[in-house]
Amino acid sequence: MMTETTKITLRTSVIALLILLAAFSRIVPHLPNFSPLSAIGLFGAAFLHKKWQAFFIPLAAAWLSDLFINNVIYGAYYPEFTWFYSGFYWQYGSYLLIIGLALLIFKKVNTTRMLGGSLMATAVFFLVSNFGVWLGSPAYPQNFEGLMQCYAMGIPFLKGTLSGDLFYVAILFGSFALLQQRYRYLRLA
């Protein structure tokens, strides 16, 4: 008979492994902005037992996958080991905001909340990351028109972002639901 603490530890480990696998799926060729990162934030917020884990585990997985991508796959483009890429704080800030909002959304997990969470995540990422591009780029005038121009230039990437969010939410939440059916200890009492 498993104790409740053992069940929670095993459950957290399975969730963390799913998040890490999803984060490293970024190395597979994909459409621009087709990413699991917002979905892992939603998934972590929905299922991790402790709130600090909901923030830490998805962000750590994103950072580890960034380290691999920046230093192995794109290592030739960086003159030295890259711990953080330029402007990373806008993307990571959007993930923090997505996770915070997801903690409010996922008091209960259902299809409607998964769809709503995906749409919210897409909108938050679009608004925050493009704001960061506008603020840090000399390509856009630093006024309202420049900001709107930057958002307009980001619209073609919305399809990839939304597709990635919907796809990875379905994969993560669906995989975990199947695992919970198969292994009862993954369910909380």
Q: Indicate the pLDDT class of residue 98, thresholds 50, 70 and 90.
A: very high
Write the pLDDT tens digit of every residue in 156-181. Answer: 999 999 999 999 999 999 999 999 99
pTM of the model: 0.93
Write the pLDDT tens digit of every residue in 55-79. Answer: 999 999 999 999 999 999 988 888 8
Count Cβ atoms below 10 Å from residue 118 Cβ, excluding itself.
24
Which pLDDT score, from 0 to 100, does residue 78 have?
Answer: 81
Write the pLDDT tens digit of every residue in 29-38. Answer: 889 999 999 9
DSSP letter at 71? Answer: I
Q: Which residues contact 160 (CB under 8 A, 6 or more apart)?
A: 30, 31, 32, 33, 34, 35
CA–CA distances in Å: residue 147 to residues 123, 125, 139: 16, 15, 11
The residue type found at 187 is R
